[in-house]
Structure 1
Amino acid sequence: MTDNKTYERLYEKTIPSVVSIYVTPNDASRPTRMGAGSGFVYDNDGSGGHVVTNHHVTGGADEVELRFSDGDWRTGHVVGRDSGTDLAVVAVTDLPTYAKPLSVATDAPKPGQEVAALGNPMGLDGTITTGIVSGTNRSLPTGNGFTIPDTVQTDAAINPGNSGGPLLTLNGEVVGVNRARQGDGIGFAISGAIVSRIVPTLIESGSYRHPFLKISTVDVSPIVAEANGLSEPRGILVVDVRLGPASGALIGCEATRTLRGREIPVGGDVIVGLDEKEVRSHEELMRHLLIETQPGEQIEVELVRDGRKLTEQVVLGERPKAKGNGRIGITVE
């Protein structure tokens, strides 16, 4: 087990780069301080820079207040936000000189690896909690019908107020942006790979265009495989196909079959690969789309149709800003 000195050194090294974020509502009739979260310094040119946090921390605010570890306060301007990954970027023109940028990892951490979460849980500035990486490439719902892929699961305590703060390796590298949810000893963080993909675009243009296959899917579990006459539970069944340039080459389900008391969609394509990479689950499909592709690109979709393997060329659309379809067990890509 790692000794306390290691965590002490990690804390001393990184806490100057971690900020508490307070949001003031635009409505003057409401309390002057509405919510609190966390963030970390992403870049700093010596006078100004950017802080990364969660989109749900900043909400619709244009300005936020930031409190640094030495008690310095700054006003930040929200210059980019993406509800699809729950990330936001705050520009600060006069960052304290001691607030150095934290390095963001692009490789996923390994389950069992020790990590620490820093932030402002329950309004308690400068808090560190520790644990391990419990799992990787998890999917988290965003509340708009889509999910965030490639999230990191940890048993480090992540409570309200931790949202937006860094999940760090013992070397001080950011492997995730903490996202507080209700749970018993389970925390999640948006991966460094997603941060590295999304944040530069948010800084440059203020928003991010998500690729979209325009289909609804369900993972091929054993019961789905049985209902569709598949030899093994592998891949993703296309349930519905939306109209549009990205959907014409794929076929959805047109019927259902009742099996062991459950109604299972049948007859659609089964996606087993993208761009010559095997796809075994919804998480792998969504990670590839988000990190490796962009709207307007043509991708190769390897699939099984009527027992035959084939490859279709599909042009990706752009994800709409819409709520989910309300169907349990169905995921929209």
Structure 2
Amino acid sequence: MTSHSKTIISLDTTRKGSVLLVHLPPRLTVIEAVSFRKYFQTLVEDNTITKIILDFGKTTIIDSSGVGSLISNHKSAQTKNIKLIFWSVTSQVKLAFSLVGLEKIFNIEPNTEAIIPTANRKTEQRPPLTHPSVRSPMKRAIDIVGAIIGLMITGVLFVPIAIAIKLDSPGSILFSQIRCGWMGQRFRIWKFRSMVTDAEALKATITNQASGAFFKSDCDPRITRIGHFLRKTSLDEFPQFWNVLMGDMSLVGTRPATPDELEQYEIRNWQRFDVRPGITGEWQTNGRSKIRNFEDVIELDLRYQKNWSLVYDLKLIFKTIMVVFNKDSGAM
């Protein structure tokens, strides 16, 4: 990590009294983000600094790790009562902020753009540079077709599943929860309810058998009788085809995280948000019920990003079908 630290430490900084101006690099991706986080920690430990200004005038490329580092640094500055100001936020970075709602949280000062002569002053509203799967029109087309077929099947199964859920326990048929998707953007995920209605309130009373930033418990008492069947067959996830159709998710991707898990993330863990979350993926087809370590989840998510192709997606979809019909498979 030494070379990474040098990259950030060598950034141009200007200090005037208790105010420090930091010029960020052209790229703020995982390499820069991890070392920038460490560098920022040294800044907030300086008790003579009361304000830090981050200048984004040269930053045109930012990914989910870059966003994660800024969220973490923002919290650190608040803890130390240091005012954190954002200057010269380019359209590319501003778009990334808007995906996660950070433009409402960060203190972005208007009219602070530096005047830099360029050959072409035209600006372009491009999505943040993350992973080619996000920009693939063919993958999106497959998602739309798959989602429509999935929703048709869901419509056929809805009535018997709804009756079974109602007869088994009181409460709603569908369950919704806020999850974090591409770039950490929050969305509402939909499932058939497989737990008691007050499951979220009871979560604190259940022993977490997993390590790291996710929750897992064998023999979870909150799961209903029909819920065990729905999870075993993955029928509980069929309403997520609506999320795929809306573009919040993909048929194949990473495991959708919860906001409380996000609070425990290291900067490098944010790389999993460079792709859209999926109904299935590496974690679904490689023993999701047996995974106990969050780092294993990260490894699977990064493996998917590394190996991604349209053919690889189709292979994972086929493998998912085989796993669902395997009597030894189980839900997470």
Tell me the TM-score normalised to structure 2 length. 0.26
The answer to which structure has the higher strand fraction is: 1
Tell me the TM-score normalised to structure 1 length. 0.26
The answer to which structure has the higher helix fraction is: 2
